[in-house]
Amino acid sequence: MSQELVTYIVLGSKSRLASLKKFKVDVNEECIFLNFNEYSSIVKTLDQVIADSKGSLIVLLPPSTVPKKHNRKTLKKMGMINYPVWGWFNSPNHDEKFISSLKKINTYIRNTPTIDQGIYFTKDLYYSIGGIGHFQSDYFVEISKRLSSRLDPQAPLSPLTFRSSSRVSLL
């Protein structure tokens, strides 16, 4: 029986994820679609999915995105080492330059990735901070604060690959 190293959790509503196909995963990876109906249920659902997942490294992804191959190799190595890490992916290049620059400045100053950047962390680190906290419109603010209080983030990985041209929205 092999241990998965990385668990990719794609966040989105049931209707949003119904039209998507899971991306192909390699050996020692798993991909889970996290269906939710409203923001109030996502924290409990996410905690349960993370507890049931087999990977030691958890990656939260927005709908219609896939990590690049070299990022997936890096994430597998992080999962193999089993040392507490957390971080996110760079801002996507398809944004308008001005908006993209503002997002990069915000991410740099606040250590808070946006939903279209995704976030990754080890399962042990997740439990040591007490979980995701509350989930709000600035999706990763609370968990980023908790993770930052425990450990500095890794340098951002290269941007995610978007499989659709629509803006990122979980609902």
The CATH fold of domain 6-162: Spore Coat Polysaccharide Biosynthesis Protein SpsA; Chain A (3.90.550)
Q: Where are the domains of the chain?
A: 6-162
**Per-residue b/e over 136-167, b at no fewer than 16 CB within 10 Å?**
eeebbbbbbebbeeebebeebbebbebeeeee
* pLDDT averaged over every residue in the chain: 82
Give the separation between CA 167 and CA 78, rounded to whole angstroms.
29
pTM of the model: 0.85
pLDDT tens by residue, 28-72: 999 999 987 777 778 888 899 999 999 999 999 988 889 999 999
Q: What would the mean pLDDT of 137-147 be, rounded to a whole number? A: 82
